[in-house]
């Protein structure tokens, strides 16, 4: 994660349906000792840590700004391994999946893709270190630039630059094909979501938002089930598409703009997938919107695949927020965000069906 702290703002996130999501206002994860984190970074990366401060930014991981004794800066990213179902079904497999994802990013950057913001390897050559059974940490360079935001509208020049960036990434598939993560088309956390739908008649007792989430799911059951049915149909159509290396979260919040151009952050979602996984947020319903990409790659764009990944974004969020609110939680900023975002995500699903 990279960006001057002053450029991070609490904002809104909009997907291609035009619906609004509150950007996560995050609190440090419960159960993580900041002093132990600082010690782990110093030990594993050989960094002389002067100070470390939590930054309430981003929507999936936790971040600290680290100042080194020589007045340099790094970003420390901590992941809750139980909150990354696309990386693995349990903490150990998620940790292995995160290592594979970040190692893929490192290979992409080494191949000449300077826009890839890859992690800094630890002293032992690994990309990620295990803090305990639940948390992992990675270290990233600090890049001074202008942070993008979730839901920002891309202008013509931005679209051109993004089409060129995605084309370069997808054309680099051969560099990482053998070791790159491969994800199924299943919804991450689908089993938990299906379990929630089967248990609407029993109280949800995980925390202060659990019963509100159950009431929402009860009222929205037809919508969620219809969305899952459509998801499954589209997945069948997408399954035969050619696979390329993709980033997976192609929104403005993962972009840093500098004098040298765009930089792409947050590579925990990197995977082999159809190219539309990175293109759907640029789709304006016309061929013109993706013409630069088509001309650079020769790839034909599949409308069903664009629709699939647009829907997948929302269904995945419903699954993630529902799982969080069913599990043990407290009345903190993270839980409040999950509750608000669950309802707003449902509104976006309604507009798609």
Would you state the pLDDT for residue 189?
92
Please indicate whether residue 288 or residue 68 has the higher confidence score (pLDDT): 68
Please indicate whether residue 177 or residue 152 has the higher confidence score (pLDDT): 177
113: confidence class by pLDDT, cuts 50, 70, 90: very high
Please indicate whether residue 332 or residue 105 has the higher confidence score (pLDDT): 105
At residue 136, does pLDDT exceed 50?
yes
Would you state the pLDDT for residue 151?
72
Would you state the pLDDT for residue 183?
87
At residue 16, does pLDDT exceed 70?
no
At residue 334, does pLDDT exceed 90?
no
Rounded-to-integer distance, Cα 337 and Cα 344, Å? 11
Rounded-to-integer distance, Cα 295 and Cα 127, Å? 35
- Give me the CATH code for the 5-185+239-301 domain, please: 3.30.200.20
The mean-pLDDT minimum among 13-27, 46-60, 188-202, 307-321 falls in 13-27
At residue 110, does pLDDT exceed 50?
yes
Residues pairing with 21 in the sheet: 13
Most confident listed range (141-150, 204-213, 330-339): 204-213
Sorted by where each begins, the domain ranges of the chain are: 5-185+239-301
The mean-pLDDT minimum among 8-12, 22-26, 219-223 falls in 8-12
Q: What is the CA 165 to chain-centroid distance, rounded?
A: 18
Q: Which residues contact 133 (CB under 8 A, 6 or more apart)?
A: 91
Compute the mean pLDDT over every residue in the chain, rounded to the nearest whole number.
89
At residue 11, does pLDDT exceed 50?
no
Please indicate whether residue 224 or residue 148 has the higher confidence score (pLDDT): 224
pLDDT tens digits for range 171-196 = 999 999 999 999 889 999 999 999 99
At residue 142, does pLDDT exceed 70?
yes
| Residue pair 191/85 in contact by the 8 Å Cβ criterion | no
DSSP per-residue codes, 15-39: -TT--EEEPP---PPTT--HHHHHH
């Amino acid at each position: 994660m990279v960006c001057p702290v002053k450029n991070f703002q609490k904002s809104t996130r909009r997907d291609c349906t035009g619906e609004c999501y509150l950007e996560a206002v995050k609190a440090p994860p419960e159960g993580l000792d900041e002093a132990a984190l600082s010690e782990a970074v110093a030990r594993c990366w050989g960094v002389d840590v002067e100070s470390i401060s939590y930054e309430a930014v981003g929507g999936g991981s936790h971040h600290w700004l680290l100042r080194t004794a020589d007045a340099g800066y790094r970003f420390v990213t901590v992941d809750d391994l139980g909150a990354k179902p696309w990386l693995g079904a349990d903490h150990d497999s998620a940790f292995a999946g995160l290592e594979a994802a970040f190692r893929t990013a490192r290979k992409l950057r080494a191949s000449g893709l300077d826009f890839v913001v890859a992690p800094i390897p630890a002293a032992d050559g690994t990309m990620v270190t295990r803090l305990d059974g639940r948390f992992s940490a990675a270290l990233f360079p600090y890049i001074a630039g202008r942070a993008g935001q979730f839901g920002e509208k891309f202008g013509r020049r931005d679209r051109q630059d993004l089409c060129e960036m995605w084309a370069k990434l997808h054309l680099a598939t051969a560099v990482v094909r053998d070791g790159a993560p491969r994800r199924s088309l299943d919804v991450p956390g689908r089993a938990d979501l299906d379990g929630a739908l089967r248990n609407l008649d029993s109280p949800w007792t995980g925390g202060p938002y659990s019963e509100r989430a159950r009431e929402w799911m009860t009222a929205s059951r037809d919508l969620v089930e219809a969305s899952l049915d459509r998801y499954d149909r589209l997945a069948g159509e997408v399954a035969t598409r050619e696979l390329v290396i993709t980033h997976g979260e192609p929104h403005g919040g993962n972009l840093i703009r500098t004098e040298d151009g765009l930089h792409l952050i947050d590579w925990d979602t990197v995977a082999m997938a159809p190219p539309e996984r990175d293109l759907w947020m640029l789709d304006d319903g016309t061929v013109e919107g993706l013409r630069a990409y088509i001309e650079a790659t020769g790839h034909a764009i599949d409308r069903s695949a664009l629709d699939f990944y647009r829907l997948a974004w929302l269904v995945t969020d419903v699954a993630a927020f529902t799982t969080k609110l069913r599990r043990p939680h407290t009345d903190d900023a993270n839980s409040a965000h999950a509750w608000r975002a669950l309802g707003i995500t449902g509104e976006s699903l309604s507009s798609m069906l």
